Each structure stands twice: as structure tokens, then as C-alpha cells.
Amino acid sequence: MKKIILLFAILTFTSIKINAQTVTDFDGNVYTTITIGTQAWTKENLKVTHYRNGDSIPNVADSLQWYNSTSGAYCNYDTNMAAVYGRLYNWYAVQDSRNIAPLGWHVPTFEDWDTLQIFLGYDLVAGGKLKEIGTAHWMSPNFGATDQYGFTALPGGQRADSIYSGTFSEITQQGYWWSSSELDTVYPWGVNISYNSEGMTNWGASTRKSGFSIRLISDLAVGIKDMNQKDYLNIYPNPVKDKIHLVCADNRKMNLEIDNLMGEPVLRMELNERRNEVDISTLAKGMYIIKITGVDWIVQKKMVKE
């Protein structure tokens, strides 16, 4: 699998610069980058007002015009707040072929967000680990916030997709971020983090006309290698009732850990290098995170126990 090694070297492309610590958008806004697991993320919400090729993204302030837009647009919850919370974008801007992200970066897919949630211990605790600590920007009590990896999620609020309002709401209370993936023909996927919860919700309840924040993720994996499961490792069945089978294409030393959704290990064991049958009949029904770790790689996926 491809891996990015930045080592403080500056890679220069048209209108953007990427190095191990920052990425710069077309407008010259500089974003700090952080590594969480195998992913590199921007630490701040997007502020750009141009696509990658230099074309302007329209700034739509009028509520009716915002609702009627069927192409990319951005807005400011408040002009003075944009520097801190970033701008809000409709989903058409996310999907525009001119690309809202600098070269080498993209708006995260549903799978990208899901991978992040799994690494953090899944949705019941992921929000707290991503939120900025304190109440300088989040409404009290900012429950469970630890900002464990420096993601520093901020509550940029949203702009409604209603023809009757197009109003702004929930700044300091809620953060909404787009994914580039569709739930169906009306609703895209996004994620939500709240001031009164440490959870992180996969959000599919707003249309393309909503105004949400955007974070960016690197196109290439970093850090520990995320093994290509299809090439090397077969884990089946899933969902599973009593026994799960793990078959490795090569002879590789492996260790198994199964965690519940609170991130607590419920089973750990060393596997042999080829074919394994693991009895999980004593586990309660529900969803778990299964992690298979080698010398320099890791596979993580959700497992459903029936």
C-alpha cells in the first residue's frame, strides 16, 4: 500500500504547498496537519473561497438564493467568526469537479470518517477525543472533551436547508462536517459532534443545500502501514455467531484484539501465521472492533456478533 513520508520536505504544486506540518489552500490560508492512526488531517476547518483551479466559489448571503442554489456555494456564519470557525459550504461545493481541496488532499469519504471513528474507539467516545478542551469556543459543559490527538474540533454550527429560513444556528453548540459520500439521492453523509456529548454521530439528515464545515484528509496514508486486507487477510464470517476465521495469505506473525464500542478489550490472543479459528461464542450480541496487528501493519474493522 502506498505510504507518504514527508520528513519536512516541501512539495510545491500550482498554487499550493504541502509539508509535514502545514498545507496551504489557493487563497493562502495555512492549515496545521496532524496524524491520527494512518490518516493525516487538517487541524482547522476550511476557509477557502476558490476551487483548486482558481475559479471562485460564490459567497451566497441571501437565504432564498442559498436554498435555490444547485451548484457550489459558501457562506459565513458571521464574517468575524470565519477566521476561527471556518466557512460553511453546501454539498455541491464538496462534489464540484474543480476540487475544493488542495492537490494531495480531499474532503473525507464516509469510509475515511469511519476509519477515524474506529481508531478512536468508535462513535460513543470519538467526539470527545476530537473536541477542543474547555469552553472558549464550545458551550458548557463541552462534555467529555480531551482533544487527545490535537484535532481540535470546533462547533461551527450550520446553515439550514429550509426554503423558509436559510438561517444560521448552533454555533458554539454543534459541529457538522461534510463527507464526500452519499447516503442516497437526496442526503449526503456527514458527521456531527455536540457540546453535551462525547459521541460522534454519522449524520445523514440534511440535504445538499445545508451549510456545513469541511475538514480535509491527505490522499495517502501515513504512519503505521494499513495492510490491504483484500490482498493479505481474509476475516469471515461477518456478522458472526460463534466462530470467526482469519486466514493470512503469507506467513505473518499476528495478534488479535477485539474491543467493545467503549474501546475496552474483551479478547486478546496471539494468532498463528496462517489459518486461525477464534471462538467468540461467549461474547454478548452487538458490535465490536476487531484489530489484527502485525510487525508493521494493522487491520481494523467492525464486527457484528449475532
Q: How far is CA 184 from CA 189, 191, 198, 205, 300, in A?
A: 9, 16, 27, 11, 26
Q: Would you state the pLDDT for residue 110?
A: 93
Domains with residue ranges and CATH for the chain: 11-218 (no CATH), 227-305 (2.60.40.3080)
At residue 85, the 3 state secondary structure works out as: helix
Beta bridge partner(s), residue 292: 256, 299
- Read off the C-alpha cell for 153: 474540533
pLDDT value, residue 265: 87
Flag residues of the chain having pLDDT under 70: 1-20, 163-165, 221-232, 249-252, 273, 295-297
**Per-residue confidence (pLDDT) for residue 232, from 0 to 100:** 59
Strand spans (E) along 76-149: 88-89, 105-106
Q: What is the pLDDT of residue 252?
A: 66
List pLDDT tens digits, range 71-105: 999 999 988 889 999 999 999 999 999 999 998 89
286: left (phi over 0), alpha (psi -120 to 50) or beta: left
What CA–CA distances, in Å, run from 118 to 157, 212, 242, 260, 295? 25, 23, 23, 11, 20
Distance CA 266, CA 256 (A): 11
Q: What is the pLDDT of residue 179?
A: 97
Number of helices (H) and strands (E), helices first, in the chain?
6, 22
Asked whether 73 and 60 are in contact (CB, 8 A), the reply is yes
